[in-house]
Structure 1
Amino acid sequence: MLQKIKERILAGGEITPDEALELAQKAIRSDLYAAADEIRKKFCNKTLDTCSIINARSGHCPENCKWCAQSAHHHTQIETYDAIPIHEAISIARLNEQQGIKRLSLVTSGRRIKASEIDYFCDIYRKMGEETHLHLCASMGLLKREELEKLKAAGVKRYHCNLETASSYFSELCTTHTIEQKKETIRTAQKLGMEICSGGIIGMGENMKQRIELAFELKELGVCSVPMNILNPIPGTPLEHMPPISDEEILVTIAIFRFILPRTFIRFAGGRARLSRETQKQALSAGVNGLLMGDMLTTLGSGVNEDKSLAREAGYDPL
């Protein structure tokens, strides 16, 4: 079955949700990873897509997402501040470019940035555009058309809005906004000609069928980049005692996502720092072709030089 589905995808065909679930449950793991890597090599080049983020406004978020350290509903020990100073953001941007990272995003806490705040962040983006050659991205919540238009005019090419999990499971994790509101923001940004980065977090109590549901929702939206985050249980959040999923389950999920999204950048992101170097290298040979480098909002990420070495060992062109 695995060989038949792989050949179909390599020929331009698609996998069904039932087939994806059967592969996840029954396929020999090494064969599944190798097939996913073959699909990746067919549709994507050998250059790893790299990005980094700046935590541009931290904490005090009114939303009640169970996984998030920045929610005001939870009692965590994160640093909080309203907006990063422009000079600090530009300094971080220059450093990222010097390290060879291609993309950079400002990420702000909260349901959405206010109309009165958008001009300040647009000033940062314009300054970044003047002083670096970075591909600029933004992650600023459930924005409306007018805010997105301003970001695009300031040089932002890609908008990030994670679905986080499948529609059938989302309300178990957040009740202050809906996944449909996220999709509305994504569709609005797409209508303006912006690229879309949207993925989720695995290990929040969802099952494999729901992860596959998420992958097909992302496929339907036509996103170009899918961050694959692994839950990092934060003390003080409702998920702080969630048991970790196994390395095998992570790798299987990545491989299945590659079968469903053969041409998409699947980006290993938050939570991967807890994995061994060997498991991260396996992920790069099981469908992953992008990495979020540097710090991961409120948790420490992997070192850039270490990531570059890992990518080269996995057969990617030098970054």
Structure 2
Amino acid sequence: MTITDAPLTQAPTSDEDVLARARRIVLEEGKPLGYDDLVEVLRTGNDRLEELLQLAHEVRLKYNGDEVEVEGIVSLKTGGCPEDCHFCSQSGQFTSPVRSVWLNIPQLVRAAKQTRETGASEFCIVAAVRGPDAKLMEQMREGVKAIHDEVDIQVAASLGMLTQEQVDDLRDMGVHRYNHNLEAAKSYFPDVVTTHTYEERWETCTMVKASGMELCCGGLVGMGETLEQRAELASQLAELEPHEVPLNFLNPRPGTPFGDIEPMESNDALRTIAAFRLALPRTILRYAGGRELTLGDLGTRDGLMGGINAVIVGNYLTTLGRDPKEDLSLLGELNMPIKALNATL
């Protein structure tokens, strides 16, 4: 699999309404929406937002059903990362008030148990590193075994860029899904990260897919990118075909290069959710970081009715999330059952 330099295109016809065309392509023909149409969707006004969200919801129900996958995350190693991702307060290159901390194995198991108690089927172990060293891989091996011995939950991981040997080791130790985000469109990536390349990220993603592990790969929006670059990111993710796409909204962190960017407007965020659903009709599309700041309670509800079919409950890596009980209560109100553990296997 290679990275497409130019966005995937489906040239719109001038006499067909953009949402009618999207409905025909995605719902009737069963195809993902291409780059040009995604740009037009992102340019639709607030007067058509409700119609767009309804279309995205129909797409989600047709291809994914009404169940919602629930996941919790924990940081095994926080802070002190050598990379310079401009949105991230865990970088050791910035003045963000995050310092390096390691969790031990009992703490990992305790966090996994707490996550399972919410009804979650997925528990993701995250480390702020460029890639795992021998110490981190050994701690992962011990931690995954300890969790599997005591908790009935799937274990995922996010440890940065991998070698083929590390990919194989993670698969063999029982990690069933690996997260490695593209972060931004290829054309915007150099404005977001300079210490590694988009191609390096893509390579890790393709190795994970080839290994048999599920690939979780998404990005952030609201970092100053253009609408066209938002559509580009969605199209490049569609080309990669990950099992899951976490959609993050920038929560500006003090001390980072993006710390002064204004949070994304909620209607723009909802349009983005719907556009990503149309680009990725069969993919798990997960609410991730920043939704509380960008969307609030009402917007969170609208997003769940506009294409989202998975959530991270509780806190994120360096920012606070919603109380898990609030998310679970909302899912109940919307008659969206939580996907059972055996449904994720």
Q: Distance in 1 between matches of 2:136 and 2:75?
A: 15
Counterpart secondary structure, 2:246: strand
Counterparts in 2 of 1:26 and 1:138: CA distance versus 1, 3 Å: same
Report matched runs for 1:2-41 at 5 Å: 2-11=19-28, 12-26=30-44, 28-41=48-61
Letter in 2 for 1:20: L
Could you report, residue by residue, the CA deviation over 1:144-200 in whole angstroms, capped at 9, with x for unpaired residues? 111121111111011100111100000001110011101100111111111100101
Tell me what 2:167 maps to.
148
> What is the CA distance between 1:5 and its match in structure 2?
2.1
Alignment of 1:124-203 (within 5 A): 124-203=143-222
Asked whether 1:251 is paired with 2:270, we answer yes
Give yes or no for contact 1:55–1:107 (8 Å, CA) kept in 2. Answer: yes
CA-atom RMSD in angstroms: 1.2
Cα distance between partner residues in 1 of 2:238 and 2:172 = 27
2:120 equivalent in structure 1:
101
Distance in 2 (CA, whole Å) between partners of 1:45 and 1:128 is: 30
**Residue of structure 1 aligned with 2:288, choices 269, 290, 298:** 269
Deviation, structure 1 residue 318: 5.2
* Mapped partners of 1:237, 1:314: distance in 2: 37
Amino acid at match of 1:251: L
- In 1, Cα distance between equivalents of 2:274 and 2:154: 27
Post-superposition Cα deviations, 1:1-38, rounded to whole Å, max 9, x if no partner, equal 21232132113123221111112213611111110111
Q: TM-score, normalization: structure 2?
A: 0.90
1:314 maps to 334
Which residue of structure 1 lines up, in the alignment, with residue 79 of structure 2?
Answer: 59
Query: Matched residues, percent identical?
Result: 34
In the alignment, the residues of structure 2 paired with residue 318 and residue 61 of structure 1 have an alpha-carbon distance, to the nearest angstrom, of: 34
Secondary structure of 1:291's match? strand
Secondary structure of the structure 1 residue equivalent to 2:274:
helix
**Is 2:26–2:32's contact at 8 Å kept on the other side of the alignment?**
yes
Residue type of the alignment partner of 1:281: R
Matches within 5 A, 1:61-100: 61-81=81-101, 83-100=102-119
1:235 match:
254
**Residues 14 and 76 of structure 1, relative CA distance in 2, 3 Å threshold:** closer
Instruction: Kindly indicate whether the alpha-carbon contact (under 8 Å) linking 2:32 and 2:279 is maintained by their aligned counterparts in 1.
Output: yes
Matches within 5 A, 1:208-227: 208-227=227-246
Aligned with 2:247: secondary structure?
strand
Choose 284-293 or 71-80, whichever is displaced more.
71-80
How many residue pairs were aligned?
A: 318
**What is the CA distance between 1:313 and its match in structure 2?**
2.4
Structure 2: unaligned runs, 5 residues or longer: 1-16, 340-345
CA contact (8 A) 2:90 2:99 kept: no
- Cα distance between partner residues in 2 of 1:116 and 1:229: 29
Unaligned runs of 5+ residues in structure 1 are none
Amino acid at match of 1:4: R
CA contact (8 A) 2:220 2:250 kept: yes
Aligned partners of 2:70 and 2:338 also within 8 Å: no
